[in-house]
């Protein structure tokens, strides 16, 4: 080995190298590789703005509401703009959809269109921005349906309403003490940490595996009085600890940023729950750009994701912004909660 050169095994793998390898093996094509790299580059730009915090004019409300009727944070809108501007000219998308936009965003006529549909929550966990708690970006990639003659269908809302199992790629960035980009293209789940010296994403969490069992649950307990019986039973048993039916003590975490809670589950196991309840009768989280991408990456890491009764990825969407109950993480725990629902 030439003096001073790291051997191949020691050299760090960048996101680009990771994606080029999968293009060479035919797992992904050039358009999908470009799409993922473009989303990752947009996440770096968002990370830079999030890290500036109150030093830039990024904090506080933007003085408007989004389709969910939620007060939009300035960073929400900025993150949405960053993702739109990064992705609309590449020639690989038929349209984009975002939590921040009621209808799909068509590709401007001056740009070529491609076969993919990109959906995202540009800044998830917005209520945590001003208090310096991790937030993130979640994305999902579908193929645009085609007509009988092979031409792309009009990329209106109905083109997006595909079950999560149709996703070709999904992932998220979590802007925390480090910025991590978690990704699946259908052959496992992998994490990349942003090296701020070279400003490149480096593979740090190859082939993530979620332990099938856990002693850690994540739920917003302030909703307890509104939960359905199966959820009440499951959490009560966790709280009963080693003297109860589970025979072991449980720990609790709730960051109120799905990206942070899910990355913890990917990293050390756990069960994350935002069930339907008397107030959130369809759950709080959005199916198309939160539950589906998270469900895909969690399943690819050996975990499970249901709405309490049905596999998330098998749900047939009826609306771009529809909400859904989410129970995901360590397979054996998710199966126990799902059994209680049955
Ligand atoms: P915001 O983006 O409005 O902060 O909501 C974040 C979120 O969609 C998800 O990231 C969290 O898991 C969940 O909502 C937190 O909900 P609660 O604030 O009800 O705990």
Phi-psi region of 151 (alpha: psi -120 to 50; beta: other; left: phi over 0): beta
The domain defined by 216-341 folds into: D-Maltodextrin-Binding Protein; domain 2 (3.40.190)
What average pLDDT does the chain have? Answer: 94
How buried is residue 17: exposed, middle or buried, by Cβ count under 10 Å (0-12/13-18/19+)? middle
Domain residues of the chain, as ranges? 2-205, 216-341
The first and second tokens of residue 137, run together, are 């970006």
Distance in Å, CA 140 to ligand 1 centroid: 18
Mean pLDDT of 117-131: 95
**The 135-143 sheet, strands edge to edge:** 105-106, 93-98, 116-124, 135-143, 169-175, 179-184, 190-195, 200-205
CATH number of 2-205: 3.30.540.10
Distance in Å, CA 220 to ligand 1 centroid: 10
Dihedral sign (CA 114, 320, 125, 305): negative
Per-residue model confidence (pLDDT) at position 5? 59
Percent of the chain with pLDDT over 70: 93
Mean pLDDT of 19-39: 97
- Contacting residues for 85 by C-beta, under 8 A, at least 6 apart: none
The first and second tokens of residue 324, run together, are 């859904």
193 Cβ below 6 A of ligand 1: no
Which DSSP helix (H) or strand (E) runs through 194? Answer: strand 190-195
Query: Tens digits of per-residue pLDDT, 50-103?
Result: 999 888 865 667 767 776 766 666 899 999 999 999 999 999 999 999 999 999
Distance in Å, CA 5 to ligand 1 centroid: 46
Query: Of residues 5 and 289, which shows the higher confidence score?
Result: 289
Q: At how many degrees (to 10) do helices 258-268 and 292-300 cross?
A: 10
Could you give the C-alpha distances from 179 to 7, 135, 243, in angstroms and in order? 27, 10, 40
Query: Tens digits of per-residue pLDDT, 307-317?
Result: 999 999 999 99
Per-residue model confidence (pLDDT) at position 9? 55
Residue nearest to ligand 1 atom 6, measured at CA: 125
Mutational pocket test of ligand 1: of 257, 265, 321, the residue with most ligand atoms within 8 Å of the beta carbon:
257
Distance in Å, CA 304 to ligand 1 centroid: 20
Confidence of residue 329 (pLDDT cuts 50, 70, 90): very high
The three-class DSSP label of residue 340 is: helix
């Amino acid at each position: 080995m030439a003096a001073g050169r790291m051997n191949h095994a020691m050299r760090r793998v960048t996101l680009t190298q990771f994606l080029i390898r999968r293009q060479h093996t035919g797992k992904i094509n050039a358009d999908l590789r470009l799409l993922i790299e473009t989303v990752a580059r947009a996440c770096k730009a968002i990370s830079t703005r999030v890290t500036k915090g109150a030093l830039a004019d990024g904090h506080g409300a933007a003085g408007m509401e989004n389709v969910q009727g939620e007060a939009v944070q300035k960073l929400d809108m900025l993150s949405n703009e960053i993702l739109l501007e990064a992705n609309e000219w590449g020639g690989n998308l038929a349209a984009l959809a975002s939590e921040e936009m009621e209808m799909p965003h068509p590709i401007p006529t001056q740009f070529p269109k491609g076969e993919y549909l990109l959906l995202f929550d540009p800044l998830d966990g917005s209520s945590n921005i001003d208090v310096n708690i991790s937030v993130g970006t979640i994305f999902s990639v579908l193929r645009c349906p085609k007509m009988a003659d092979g031409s792309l269908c009009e990329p209106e809302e109905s083109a997006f309403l595909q079950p999560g199992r149709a996703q070709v790629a999904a992932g998220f960035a979590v802007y925390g003490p480090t910025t991590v980009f978690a990704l699946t293209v259908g052959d496992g789940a992998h994490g990349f940490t942003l090296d701020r010296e070279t400003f490149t994403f480096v593979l740090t969490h190859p082939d993530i595996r979620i332990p099938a069992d856990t002693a850690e649950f994540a739920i917003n307990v302030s909703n307890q009085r509104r939960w359905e019986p199966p959820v009440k039973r499951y959490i009560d048993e966790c709280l009963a600890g080693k003297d109860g039916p589970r025979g072991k003590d449980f720990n609790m975490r709730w960051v109120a940023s799905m990206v942070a809670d899910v990355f913890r589950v990917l990293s050390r196991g756990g069960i994350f729950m935002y069930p339907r309840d008397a107030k959130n009768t369809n759950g709080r989280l959005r199916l198309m750009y939160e539950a589906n991408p998270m469900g895909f990456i969690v399943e690819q890491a050996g975990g499970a994701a249901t709405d309490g009764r049905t596999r998330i990825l098998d749900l047939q969407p009826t609306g771009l912004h529809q909400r859904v109950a989410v129970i995901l993480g360590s397979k054996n725990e998710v199966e126990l909660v799902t059994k209680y629902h049955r």
